[in-house]
């Protein structure tokens, strides 16, 4: 089916990133260039804004805003974490129909893909001609059927640099706090934790221990690794996911749990505090933690140019897809490493994406399951853009 004239609306959802606006700009600029699209609108705060009919006319924005927004972090339209209820579905379609919106682009991760999928299904059931495309975005990098997710490359770059820089402070006075825990985001997949090792060039370099949410936490083994590393090197850098769990599936951060979000995902706090307390108590070593928090997703000074360009690309291709009559699909990145790294796009069925997570493959972790392999390094390095720096250290022996 080839699209006819109609209005287009775009929404942003989930945790905002440093490059999510590049996807918005790509989608808008593709729409502005095509005469088949009449109105171009934005949902203010995602699907919640649509339900409130809080809609922004994007054609009324000054022309220069788009080139600036491409380099601006966070979600310019505003984001949300709202799960569509059954009674919302028909109302959503009624609102779209009232505004003659025939094309929907929804930028987000797993839960956002679910929202786009349900909108597409409901429109089909009600007989309303609507093209709905999901545009991928998540620092968690856990969407299936795409090589990687826009947002991840920049967050990975930030964490790699943050680990390298924070380690330099520990090296300067290692006996003060010889054990440091850096806590990362990442709900169920360890892609963010793994990214901290992208600046590691030899066995002594930090990080020394990675704690991923896919791997059950074993306190005895962890303490043994910490003690062995401390004796060998004189300090220990641990990078841990905020959602690491014990063998019973209990999140270590549950001691600070502050509820759940709309999709019933626990809002956790406390994994790094738990680990620090454990090291202090059992090994009698001074320990502290760093929690970069939102900076992992928002640090504009750490944006990967590759990530930004790919975010723009999937947005642009999303508009092209709805105009080609595609619906209930997600734009995916298809990787090519020859002659040099680059990505093309493809469309994949949302039914195979919504609420599905891609965890870290076994070949990306070594036998200990607490460090990445060269296979992961080869996968992730092209995504973070410019090469990471080498931090120099004085030679103090020999």
Q: Give the whole-angstrom CA distance, residue 375 versus residue 364.
A: 6
Q: Say whether 135 sits in a helix, a strand or coil.
A: strand
Task: Confirm whether 378 is a catalytic residue.
Answer: no
Q: Give the whole-angstrom CA distance, residue 239 versus residue 372.
A: 12
| Structural contact between residues 295 and 165, judged by C-beta atoms closer than 8 angstroms | no
Residue written as token pair 């399951």? 369
What tokens appear for 209 in the block?
């221990």
Name the phi and psi angles at 56, rounded to 5. -105, 130
- Options 88, 140, 307, 309, the catalytic residue: 140
| DSSP bridge pairs for 251 | 245
Q: Give the whole-angstrom CA distance, residue 351 versus residue 296.
A: 29
Q: Pick from 285, 206, 271: which is nearest to 243 by CA? A: 271
- Burial (CB count <10 Å: 0-12, 13-18, 19+), residue 129: middle
Q: Show which residues are catalytic.
A: 140
């Amino acid at each position: 089916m080839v699209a006819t004239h109609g209005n287009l609306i775009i929404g942003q959802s989930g945790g905002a990133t440093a490059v999510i606006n590049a996807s918005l700009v790509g989608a808008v600029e593709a729409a502005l260039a095509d005469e088949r699209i009449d109105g171009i609108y934005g949902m203010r705060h995602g699907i919640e804004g649509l339900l409130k009919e809080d809609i922004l006319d994007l054609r009324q924005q000054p022309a220069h805003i788009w080139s600036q927004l491409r380099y601006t972090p966070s979600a310019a339209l505003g984001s949300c974490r709202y799960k569509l209820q059954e009674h919302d579905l028909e109302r959503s379609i009624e609102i779209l129909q009232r505004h003659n919106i025939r094309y929907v682009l929804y930028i987000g991760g797993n839960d956002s893909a679910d929202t786009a999928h349900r909108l597409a299904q409901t429109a089909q059931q009600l007989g309303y001609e609507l093209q709905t495309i999901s545009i991928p975005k998540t620092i968690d990098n856990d969407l299936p059927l795409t090589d990687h997710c826009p947002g991840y490359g920049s967050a990975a770059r930030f964490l790699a640099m943050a680990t390298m820089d924070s380690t330099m402070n520990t090296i300067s006075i290692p006996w003060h706090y010889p054990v440091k825990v850096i806590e990362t985001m990442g709900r169920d997949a360890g892609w963010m934790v793994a990214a901290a090792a992208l600046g590691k060039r030899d066995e002594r370099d930090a990080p020394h221990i990675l704690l991923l949410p896919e791997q059950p936490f074993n306190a005895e083994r962890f303490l043994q690794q910490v003690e062995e590393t401390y004796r060998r090197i004189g300090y220990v850098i641990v990078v841990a996911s905020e959602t690491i769990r014990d063998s019973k599936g209990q999140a270590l951060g549950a001691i600070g749990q502050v509820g759940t979000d709309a999709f019933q995902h626990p809002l956790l706090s406390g994994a790094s505090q738990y680990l620090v307390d454990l090291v202090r108590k059992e090994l009698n070593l001074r320990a502290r933690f760093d929690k970069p928090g939102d900076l992992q997703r928002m640090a504009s000074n750490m944006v990967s140019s590759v990530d930004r360009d790919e975010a723009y690309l999937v947005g642009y291709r999303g508009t092209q897809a709805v105009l080609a009559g595609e619906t209930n699909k997600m734009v995916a990145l298809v990787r090519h490493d020859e002659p040099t790294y680059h990505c093309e796009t493809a469309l994949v069925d949302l039914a195979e994406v919504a609420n599905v997570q891609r965890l870290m493959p076994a070949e990306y972790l070594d036998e200990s399951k607490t460090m990445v392999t060269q296979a992961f390094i080869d996968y992730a390095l092209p995504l973070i853009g410019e090469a990471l720096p080498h931090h120099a250290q004085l030679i103090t022996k020999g």
